[in-house]
Chain A
């Protein structure tokens, strides 16, 4: 199972406490992970990726294993530690400053 940590706004919106545990069909990639997340939590459609284009929203970041994965290709494999569930995949709202 892949572990996903949502930002506070989306935990509230999806009525989630703690981490989300996801089973992904096929290779574990950003796209397959987010597809699975949106299938399990349809209210998150459009909140992480834009409707239609499925591009990452501008102020959303993906972190894991002390790395910024935000600019990785959607079909690139996730780190083994994320795919195995050893490390969580963090969905983060970009800092606003101020």
Chain B
């Protein structure tokens, strides 16, 4: 992989890029420490800080566009964090700036949307504080120039995610989901941490530049180990198999959170990690292959789960898993796939945030109802939401010429090149996507109205619909812009390298046409079952496969029987053992020295006296010993 050198001492907007992190962090601090005093204007400050970060990102991006390819990787030194090990700094390059634009851009839109969505919540200020905290941590994750900085951001977004999933923490289900997300993520972080330790002991550095420069020279086994450990971290954060179980529960959080954190940005951090660590993965083909396997397995699993969910947010969450699976697959393909992974990540950030916010708009209108079996026929009452959601829907199923069409097709094509089995599985996944997303679309906006008697749906206020419109514009055009002429691939090349032969765009290839055909079949089945036919208000029992999908492919059941219940037993045994055995043994020993355990108990009475006695005893020993020594 050929990448550009990292240039020290950046100036201009890039030199001030630390403001991107500092502004939202400051916002979070003011809102959390200021308490109720900031209730009145807290949400505005939150939006302003996020927009401020966006402005810095845009200025840095513009400055970068004015530079030659060879000068597009700039280091910003910040401070000595752990002397001798970690110098904290930022790396502003095409890869990190792409993320920064997505995070601050989509992030700001979601901040604005939340003004309306959370307007009735008494804790709106706290919500914005956490959103700002998230943006700061996420930017540190992608902008840091070393693995420890990434790790700090990595766990920081985990904290923000925990706080936001559990935002309505008086609900036990929300509190439990939040805790679960954090703990499952920590399993991934365990892998990431050991990966970082290994990088340190192998290279004597944790900074990207120096490590990647010599990465290829390290022992193959060590590199594979590092790759797999980093992948474990990526699986936790990006809800990939086998650490996927937390994402569906995470939908307990307010919907803007699901849009920002659990669809557009945080969950894509694993993809970032793999692409960023390209130098390591490219030198460890086994690890790379495992990445693609994880990606394909998850893209199918997520799609299957998405087919069976009646909760609109959970259906979208299954879809998120699946789409990130596509990105993982692409990231595991090496330089051929990186640009497609990132392109799909960006367009997915738009169309999925678009759909989540649309779902939020629907819930807002339907008294927070999430069951799609209680929706239906909403098109006529909330046209803006329905049309923007529809655009996101067409984008994700890969409707020709919309965003998802270009980016997903790119992933499928490059997977075909590397390994046709993976490629065809990805095609199958696209077909399933066509079915389950159409199902969501039809159940919500078309067919008969199955509303609850007290539901009086209405279109959401402009502060909510304007972000929807902007996001849907991105969902239409962004894919073509990024993919045609390999625009994004060439832009990213200084940071992640590029394949020797640039891929062309083949709209009429066999896989491409098959994909379109399968998507059409999927959509048609969905129309027959959920558009034209009557949708029962209560879910039918369904086949074995439906149950399997409804129960998240038994992921939770597996975790419970493999980890949770044995863990509970272990805990109980350990507590019992500690109270009886260890304590008993040592007490017995102590008592044995002093006499019997009965005497030990008697010591509790008149303890002052016995204490004085022990002191006297001790003092006598000291004096005696010293006297004895003195005579030697």
Partners in one complex: no
Binding site for A on B (CB under 8 A): none
Binding site for B on A (CB under 8 A): none
